[in-house]
Structure 1
């Protein structure tokens, strides 16, 4: 019985202290308490890149219990296409899709940080117009999700030079 109690006690302490995972950054409490107003600008008329970008950022930075504040994130996204110059066969060639996100983060006192994120991907263009449209939209969606998650993680992990005043 004494051995069982010691075995149980050791396992209990190992379960409590045994997890060696520690996150690279702590969640910043300022962003969970206050609402961050997100503005996404895009020149694309019939694309859903801006709304997808905004929804992803709101999911990472926003909370349903947040208070109104003057925190504001302005993001401008631009999409560029170029040929890769690579032909798989006579009917298929590659295109490169580049997505740039220029961001500025403001609080009540003014600019906190600004920067630029850029990512590239490629997709194949064939003789089938529907397949081309699907490939382009899929590549664009994956780029938007990747850049928006990177931007949210970057802002959450950022150490600002001055105190944030929401």
Structure 2
């Protein structure tokens, strides 16, 4: 299967994940819709740039983040559109993923007060399951920076949760 075919075939499978990431970044339904739509359009336009056999989700997240940083954040965020409750818009797309979505909702609720850099690292590592190296590559920072952001976020989330502890723990081999 060529890169264009692989992108077309796999794009719909990642729509709910793109939506969650867009909501996490923007906190706004309208902006998230625009981000996902622009991501899909750009992915289809540049499908020949996708390397077959690599992770499509990482490539799509990178496109979405690039659009967010370069276009949307600079213009639309200043319009003061209302916030969206991230948990209310999470889509459960199968019984096998229900537990992951519950955890995602809990993390999203608890991490809204984190600084943006920590919030994005937590989302990518713990909600989307990217490795520290993958998060570092996507955010274009050193792995140590990702680890530091995650450690600071876990400490803050644990302090807020009291005796509940952090919502997710680092796993070996990350």
Q: TM-score, normalised by structure 1?
A: 0.28
Larger Rg: 1
Q: TM-score, normalised by structure 2?
A: 0.27
Q: More helix by proportion, 1 or 2?
A: 2
